[in-house]
């Protein structure tokens, strides 16, 4: 990890960049739709929920490379940062997702003071600084995780990474991740995924 290559600015906080509807890229389309929605609710249990405000997508960490980017980046009400790695069924496996999260987190920790400055200046947050431990999440639909279990490639998350999934659609209903923008008032709730052996 070479600090010289890490960005000191221009993390694309609070802006829309790139193509609105990338052709043939389901993950990019889902990512963009979620970012436009602006927030997601993490359902950890019946009594514990977290609202995460999405402040960046495809957030670049290196310069000039665009390959090392956080899919979705957010903060909660306590200004705790969230690094979210989005996956679709056609995408890479959980081992790759884990390695990406760990790598992005290491980069983030080295430059988070610069990212915090950009968040503060973009949203006019006085005295903004990241607080608490950075949260690392793999977000996918339930079928993604089920597929990995059937294939024998599922790996349990380490203690510092959590898996979240979109709720399983009711019979005859369109999955929520495919209708995110259909109802602008609908809250996007994603549930923690636990593999029951």
Q: Can you tell me the distance from the alpha carbon of 146 to that of 89, in angstroms, rounded to the nearest whole number?
A: 10
Q: Can you tell me the distance from the alpha carbon of 92 to that of 90, in angstroms, rounded to the nearest whole number?
A: 7
3-class state of residue 37 by DSSP: helix
pLDDT tens for the chain, 197 residues: list them. 444 589 999 999 999 987 766 666 688 888 988 998 899 999 999 899 999 999 999 999 998 767 799 999 999 999 999 999 999 888 789 999 999 999 999 999 999 999 999 999 999 999 999 999 999 999 999 999 999 999 999 999 999 999 999 887 666 666 666 666 666 677 889 999 988 76
What DSSP assignment string belongs to 40-101?
A: EEEE-SSS-EEEEEEEEEEEE-BSS-SSSEEEEEEE-TT--EEEEEE--TTS--HHHHHHHH
Q: Can you tell me the distance from the alpha carbon of 56 to that of 114, in angstroms, rounded to the nearest whole number?
A: 14
- Dmax over CA atoms of the chain, in Å, equals 52
Could you tell me how far CA 33 lies from the centroid of its own chain? 12
Q: How much is the mean pLDDT over the chain? A: 88
pLDDT digit string, tens, across residues 29-71: 889 889 988 999 999 998 999 999 999 999 999 987 677 999 9
- Kindly report the pTM of this predicted structure: 0.91
């Amino acid at each position: 990890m070479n600090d010289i290559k890490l960005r000191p600015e221009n993390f694309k906080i609070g802006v829309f960049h790139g193509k609105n509807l990338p052709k043939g890229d389901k993950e990019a389309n889902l990512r963009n739709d979620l970012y436009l929605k602006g927030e997601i609710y993490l359902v950890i249990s019946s009594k514990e929920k977290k609202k995460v405000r999405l402040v960046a997508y495809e957030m670049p960490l290196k310069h000039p490379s665009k390959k090392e980017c956080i899919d979705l980046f957010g903060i909660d009400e306590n200004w705790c940062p969230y690094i979210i790695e989005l996956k679709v069924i056609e995408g890479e496996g959980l081992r790759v997702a884990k390695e990406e999260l760990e790598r992005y987190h290491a980069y983030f920790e080295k430059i988070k003071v610069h990212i915090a400055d950009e968040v503060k200046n973009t949203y006019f947050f006085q005295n903004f600084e990241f607080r608490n431990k950075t949260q690392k999440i793999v977000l996918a639909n339930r079928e993604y995780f089920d597929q990995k279990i059937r294939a024998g490639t599922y790996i349990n998350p380490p203690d510092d990474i959590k898996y979240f999934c979109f709720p399983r659609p009711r019979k005859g209903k369109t999955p929520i991740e495919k209708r995110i923008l259909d109802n602008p008032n609908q809250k996007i709730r994603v549930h923690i995924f636990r593999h029951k052996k």
